[in-house]
Structures are given as structure tokens and as C-alpha cells.
């Protein structure tokens, strides 16, 4: 699909960020709405206080009573990376605060599905917990919370997903996205929410002289920030100023050799250097390996890796996670090729402008744990809201949705459910991603209703796939020094995108590596320098050949290979200009 390249605008009225700041970096920050150096502050002292989180004092009351009363606490986690890190933060944090009996339970997605369902509460009841704490789930678990209360458990919900019309009858709910919450950042991941809860619990215990009476050191909860950084980046929540502090502080701990054994092992197995870790390594190296456990097997493998204090055990678990991730890649490739073939047939029958405004695909052979990744791949290729369905249980199919800018996918599903009662069994999620289940026999009816609702909300401009860049760089700026500066000036991620550029180049050499990736040697139009570049999964598109003149978008990366450090351009889009 042809993409439109748009240069990010810079507000010339923005205050000066300092004469000593690199001019390119200043331009990049300005384009991201930075109005003062204060917004670039990354010290823990600048974190938003926990006091304004609605429900946090009620949650603290329950958790402190459980800790001081030696009561049994059970953590119920989600089965993705945010859920795994949230669980590890809760387990490690509560133990450090003096809790004596803490355990966890993570549902298997294939048996129990997402969240605190009544069925998973029955499993939880076997261990007879006094207090049940959800992490990264629970805000939509009406029936599950009711069942837990019937069984005599106190329930604390910690979550960050959007609430529905009804809230569960939990003893406490901490979620910055619940109605009436005044916490200034609505972008905390689940792991960020439970970290904030633990900070508030520590403050209360300190007031009660709990640590002094037990002759305990007051725990330094900053030791959990490596896990907070991982979960925050992997869950693709916007990196507002508060999240950037959490992520940067976690990255500093990892670079300084203070990460948990599991993160060290996962970085090693991913061939990443600890002392040069950046946010993208969390999202592209560690996150997928952890997520593979929840997608294909059991997320407790990932959680145990993050909880391990033994380098040997952590490495063994990391190797298993890496193997699961390789298996996931193989499954994903087959599903992607199949889905693209179906959609290309649709495009052959219609012009691109008539391609449906939303795409729904279902195949009974598709793996339920991989449909979210497939939905992302289809969305990236066709720039349409996408729902991919796989076989569920008892006549249901389960869907994973991904959206485009301008279309709030959870609101779309809510509108479909309102206009067509009974069509969706359950749903939940965010603006850009959601999950749902429907009856298999209603697929065609749902597809029609989904497309109709998207068409109400989408504009022609929304359907134009756009790539935003920070403009062109002259040859004098295409240096290893600038690449290293940009690498250190993040953390970059969702909502605070990594610097990207556009430019015209001549292809001097090219070859395919790893079956799907395009390696090139390029020369800018306006310079005699030669630059290495790589475009991942480029074989899915038309590839340039030697001598082609191309327009492309890219980011700058510091490449390390056999002890050599060099500049490498990471290509995101190529348009062949002339041959």
C-alpha cells in the first residue's frame, strides 16, 4: 500500500531548550510538544504522587491489614508481558514489605480466557486466600469479583484498562482510567499501577513503624523498576513524562547491572548488551519472548523467569522462552501468508479505494495465541481496523482487534454491542487494541455490523497510511555520533516516537538476509558517503536493486558486530523513485 510521508511540524513559539542542545535533537523534541527542559526531567523525584489515584487508600487499608495480620494474599495476573511483570512486581514488592504468604495465579488463555473469571476464582479458592489482588486485569470482571466475594475473599482490583458501564463490586479499585480518577497520567501500564500501590503501602507501613518494630530495612522499591520499564514499554502505553521517568530509571538499573536475573538472561539470549540497553530492546527483544509463553503455553514460565534469583535457573527458563518465541514466529509466518493471500484476492476484485473500511478474518486452523500479532501485521499492511478470529470453546470464536489512528476500537465495539444486543458476548481493551468473543454462527452478522460502525467513525484521511518523520538530514548529520546521541536521549516509544527521517538515496548494493530482510549499501543524493541499511521483512514489498534511486524513511541505529561499532539506517519504508 502506498504511504504518505508527512514531516512533523515544529511550533516555532516553543521556548528555547538551551543553546547547548544539538540542533537536530532540539528539532525532534519540539516536534513532540516538549515546551521546557522540565519535561525532559527523568529523576524519580519528579514522579507524580500516588495520592490522587482514586481508591488507593482503600487498597492500602486492605493490603496493610493483610501484611501485618499474616494473611494469605493471592495475585491474579494477565497472561501478557504487562501481566507477567505486574505479577513479578507484586510478588517481589509484597515480600520485601514483609508479607509472609504471597502466591500467584495466572489463567491459561486457552482454558479460562482473560481476566478474573468465575472459573479462575474457583481455582483460586483451592488455596483459600484472604485477599485477592488482580494485576493488569479486573476492571471488567463483574461476575468473577462477585464469586470471589461470595467465597469470603477481599478483592483489590489494580488495572489500567478502560472501564465499562458497570464496575465490579471489589473492596478497592485502583485504575487511573476509572471514572472520577484525578491522577494526571492516564497512561500507566498495569505494572505501573501496582508499583504505585506498593509505594503507598510502604508509606503506610512506615507511618505505623512496621519496619522499625520488625528491625527491617525500609525496602527500596526502585529495585523493581527494571520490571516496571519492561512492562510499560511492552504494553505500548504512551510514554508521557511520567512513564518516561519510570522507563528511564528502569533502564538505568539494567545498564548498571542491577536488573533481576530473568531480565539479564532474556537480554543475553537476545544478544543485547546490558550496558547499552534502550527502550526498544524491551519491546522487540524481551517482550516477545515473554509474550510467547502466554501465547503458546503457560505464562507462569515467564513469571518464574522474572521471579528467579538464580542466574542458572533464569537462563534455563529464558532458553525455553526463546524456543517458544521461535515456534511463535513459525506459526505467525504461516498465518500471515494465508491472511495476506485472502486479502490480496479481495484487492484484485476491488480498487484500493473500495477495500473494506474494516477487515474481519477467521480461520478455524489459526492459533488463538497468535491472532493479536497477525492483526497487527494486517493493520500495518492495509491500514484498516482489523479483527482476527480464532476457534474458541463451546461454539465461540475469539477475536483480537487492532486499530488505526482516528478510530477508537473499544468505542467501536461498544457501539456495535449497543446497536446489536447479544451480538458480542464480551469485549474490552483500549483505543488501539481490544479483545472480544462472539458466537461462531454470528461471524457474518458481526462483520457487517463492525464495518458499518467503523464507516460511521472513519474518514478518508484516516484510511490514508501515513509515515511521520522529523524531516531530512544532510550528509553531515548522518553520523555515528548523532545516532548515539539520539539513542541516549529517549526513552522513545509509543506516544513519544523514536526519531525518524526521510531522504533520497542511490542503491549501491543489496542482498537478502535471513530469507525476508533486505541489506543495502546506500549513498545520499547530496553526499559521497556510503551507509549500511537494513529493511526488515522487505520481501513482502517490491525490493529495489543496484542502481535504483529511492525515497525512504528510516531511523538511525548504532550497530555492533564482532566488536565493530558503526552507523546503520533502519529502513521503515521504501519507494522506488527511478531505475
pLDDT digits (tens, 9 = 90+) for 511-556: 999 878 999 999 999 889 999 999 988 876 778 999 999 999 999 9
Give 3-state DSSP helix, strand, coil % of the chain, rounded to 5: 45, 20, 35
- The confidence score (pLDDT) of residue 14 equals 60
Distance CA 260, CA 314 (A): 9
pLDDT band per the 50, 70, 90 thresholds, residue 347: confident
**Averaged pLDDT for residues 275-296:** 95
Provide the angle, in degrees to the nearest 10, between the axes of the packed helices 287-296 and 81-96: 100
Residue 52, classed as helix, strand or coil, is coil
- The confidence score (pLDDT) of residue 82 equals 96
Element (H, E) at 255: helix 241-255
Write the CATH number of the domain with boundaries 4-36+467-578: 2.40.50.460
Phi, psi of 266, deg, nearest 5: -70, -35
- The confidence score (pLDDT) of residue 537 equals 81
**Averaged pLDDT for residues 353-379:** 91
Q: Domain coordinates of the chain in residue numbers? A: 4-36+467-578, 49-321, 350-464
**Averaged pLDDT for residues 331-337:** 95
Distance CA 285, CA 270 (A): 6
Write the CATH number of the domain with boundaries 49-321: 3.90.1640.30
pLDDT band per the 50, 70, 90 thresholds, residue 353: low
Residue 439, classed as helix, strand or coil, is strand
Residue 454 confidence (pLDDT) above 90:
yes
| 417-435 residue pLDDT tens | 999 999 999 898 888 899 9
For residue 79, what is the DSSP state? S
- The confidence score (pLDDT) of residue 526 equals 85
Residues 6+ apart with CB under 8 A from 200: 50, 53, 56, 57, 59, 60
Element (H, E) at 315: helix 311-349
- The confidence score (pLDDT) of residue 13 equals 61
- The confidence score (pLDDT) of residue 431 equals 86
Cα–Cα distances in angstroms (integers) from residue 6 to residues 10, 208, 289, 501, in the given order: 12, 56, 33, 10
Q: Percentage of residues in the chain with pLDDT exceeding 70?
A: 97
- The confidence score (pLDDT) of residue 579 equals 64
Residue 557, classed as helix, strand or coil, is strand
Mean pLDDT of the chain: 93
- Count the helices and strands in the chain (H runs, E runs): 19, 17
For residue 285, what is the DSSP state? I
Please state which of the four CATH numbers 3.40.50.300, 3.10.20.30, 3.10.310.30, 3.40.1710.10 is assigned to the domain occupying 350-464. 3.10.310.30
- The confidence score (pLDDT) of residue 430 equals 82
- The confidence score (pLDDT) of residue 98 equals 97
| 195-238 residue pLDDT tens | 999 999 999 999 999 999 999 999 999 999 999 999 999 999 99
Amino acid at each position: 500500500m502506498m504511504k504518505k510521508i508527512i514531516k512533523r511540524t515544529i511550533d516555532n513559539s516553543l521556548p528555547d531548550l538551551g543553546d547547548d542542545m544539538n540542533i537536530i535533537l532540539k528539532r525532534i523534541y519540539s516536534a513532540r510538544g516538549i515546551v521546557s527542559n522540565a519535561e525532559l526531567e527523568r529523576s524519580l523525584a519528579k514522579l507524580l504522587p500516588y495520592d490522587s489515584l482514586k481508591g488507593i487508600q482503600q487498597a492500602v487499608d486492605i493490603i496493610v491489614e493483610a501484611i501485618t495480620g499474616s494473611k494469605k494474599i493471592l495475585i491474579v495476573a494477565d497472561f501478557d508481558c504487562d501481566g507477567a511483570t505486574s505479577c513479578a512486581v507484586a510478588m517481589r514488592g509484597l515480600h520485601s514489605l514483609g508479607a509472609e504468604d504471597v502466591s500467584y495465579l495466572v489463567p491459561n488463555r486457552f482454558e479460562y480466557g482473560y481476566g478474573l473469571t468465575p472459573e479462575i476464582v474457583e481455582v483460586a479458592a483451592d488455596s483459600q486466600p484472604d485477599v485477592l489482588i488482580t494485576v493488569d486485569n479486573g476492571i471488567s470482571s463483574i461476575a468473577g469479583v462477585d464469586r470471589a466475594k461470595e467465597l469470603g475473599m477481599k478483592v483489590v482490583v489494580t488495572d489500567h484498562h478502560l472501564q465499562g458501564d458497570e464496575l465490579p463490586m471489589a473492596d478497592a479499585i485502583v485504575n487511573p482510567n476509572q471514572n472520577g480518577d484525578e491522577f494526571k497520567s492516564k497512561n500507566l501500564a498495569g505494572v505501573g499501577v501496582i508499583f504505585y500501590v506498593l509505594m503507598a503501602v510502604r508509606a503506610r507501613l512506615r507511618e505505623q513503624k512496621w519496619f522499625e518494630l520488625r528491625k527491617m530495612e525500609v525496602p527500596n522499591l526502585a529495585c523493581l523498576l527494571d520490571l516496571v520499564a519492561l512492562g510499560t514499554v511492552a504494553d505500548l502505553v504512551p510514554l508521557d513524562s511520567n512513564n518516561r521517568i519510570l522507563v528511564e530509571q528502569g533502564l538505568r538499573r539494567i545498564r548498571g547491572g542491577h536488573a533481576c536475573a530473568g531480565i539479564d538472561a532474556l537480554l543475553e539470549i537476545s544478544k543485547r548488551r546490558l550496558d547499552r540497553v534502550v527502550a526498544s530492546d524491551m519491546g522487540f527483544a524481551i517482550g516477545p519472548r515473554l509474550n510467547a509463553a502466554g501465547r503458546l503455553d503457560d505464562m507462569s514460565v515467564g513469571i518464574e523467569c522474572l521471579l528467579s534469583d538464580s542466574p542458572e535457573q533464569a537462563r534455563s527458563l529464558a532458553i525455553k522462552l526463546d524456543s517458544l518465541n521461535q515456534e511463535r514466529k513459525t506459526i505467525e509466518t504461516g498465518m500471515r501468508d494465508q491472511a495476506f493471500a485472502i486479502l490480496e484476492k479481495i484487492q484484485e476484485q476491488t480498487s484500493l479505494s473500495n477495500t473494506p473500511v474494516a477487515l474481519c478474518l477467521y480461520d478455524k486452523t489459526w492459533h488463538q495465541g497468535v491472532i493479536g500479532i497477525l492483526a497487527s501485521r494486517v493493520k500495518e499492511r492495509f491500514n484498516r481496523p482489523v479483527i482476527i478470529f480464532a476457534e474458541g470453546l463451546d461454539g465461540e470464536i475469539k477475536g483480537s482487534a487492532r486499530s488505526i489512528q482516528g478510530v477508537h476500537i473499544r468505542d467501536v465495539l461498544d457501539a456495535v454491542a449497543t446497536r446489536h444486543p447479544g451480538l458480542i458476548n464480551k469485549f474490552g481493551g483500549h483505543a488501539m487494541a481490544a479483545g472480544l468473543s462472539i458466537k461462531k454462527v454470528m461471524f457474518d452478522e458481526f462483520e457487517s455490523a463492525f464495518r458499518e460502525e467503523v464507516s460511521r467513525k472513519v474518514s478518508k484521511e484516516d484510511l490514508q497510511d501515513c509515515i511521520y518523520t522529523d524531516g531530512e538530514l544532510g550528509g553531515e548529520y548522518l553520523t555515528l555520533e548523532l545516532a548515539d546521541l539520539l539513542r541516549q536521549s529517549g526513552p522513545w516509544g509509543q506516544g513519544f516516537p523514536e526519531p525518524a527521517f526521510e531522504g533520497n538515496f542511490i542503491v549501491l548494493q543489496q542482498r537478502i538476509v535471513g530469507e525476508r530482510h533486505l541489506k543495502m549499501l546506500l549513498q545520499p543524493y547530496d553526499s559521497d558517503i556510503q551507509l549500511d541499511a537494513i529493511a526488515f521483512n522487505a520481501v513482502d514489498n517490491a525490493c529495489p536493486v543496484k542502481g535504483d534511486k529511492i525515497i525512504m524513511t528510516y531511523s538511525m541505529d548504532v550497530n555492533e558486530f564482532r566488536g565493530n561499532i558503526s552507523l546503520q539506517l533502519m529502513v521503515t519504508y521504501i519507494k522506488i523513485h527511478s531505475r
